[in-house]
Structure 1
């Protein structure tokens, strides 16, 4: 890992002005590296519809991050802050979603369904990483790790007790990851 490069990353809160770049990073990652999407042969049109179904909801919340290097956006982390007692996916996926999207959301719901039950009762705030991706030219160079670290710092700054993500990639099997924030 090149620490000189990592020290030059700039992180900032994403806004709706970042919608297009955020969308493009997510679309590329979703259609090229997301194992479930690849297994289901999700098309770019289906992926576009899926991303457009949730990005307008989460991006304005103000917790998502943009990562830049030398003036170029190279990564994006879609994050939400959730306070107890609200479960992350209380009612499950929207039954009106397209079939492939519904299946993917059902898997995510199963991974997060009993989320608060797994945590001590004094944990009252969580940051949920919904999606994190870097552009392909930054794969395997420490950028995703650095963006994850920035998301954890932001989680601490907003008073989260824990950060949570489902890991689905070509490099890891499906797992849920929780990191207590100190």
Structure 2
């Protein structure tokens, strides 16, 4: 997942010890200073000795991470976010089997892949919105795409429980967009 550090933080006029989490799309700070900021909102990211410095809106921020970690975090923040296709391991050479509206959510991530409805495939993709759809899944490897959060009709635990009961194991997770996430399942060896 992301990177984590316990460090001193200065956020505008606030200062103190925090736990900083650098996730794939956001920075989360908890402790003397609390904030949750999308990485795209971090401006003028730079390393100053042992400090990672950046601006959020008009507020100057620094995290005392140490020179090595500050450089590593700055590089991670500056790196472009991976595409959904890359997160899911989809390439132009792949044969994908689309189940239950996955193409409506994945859109551009499927560009260049060959879509098959039967026969050999490299990976199946299924969007599930109901427990009934989840109960019908019996293919592997498969990415199961479902709504994020507690308000979603099918949660992460329901997806895991249903597919593990069929002898599948989850091996990877990926954020698809603001509304959807995905779990990849394979057959147990």
Structure with the higher strand share, 1 or 2: 2
Higher relative contact order (CA 8 A, sep 6+): 1
* TM-score normalized by the length of structure 1: 0.28
* TM-score normalized by the length of structure 2: 0.27
Kindly name which structure, 1 or 2, has the bigger radius of gyration based on alpha carbons: 2
Structure with the higher helix share, 1 or 2: 1
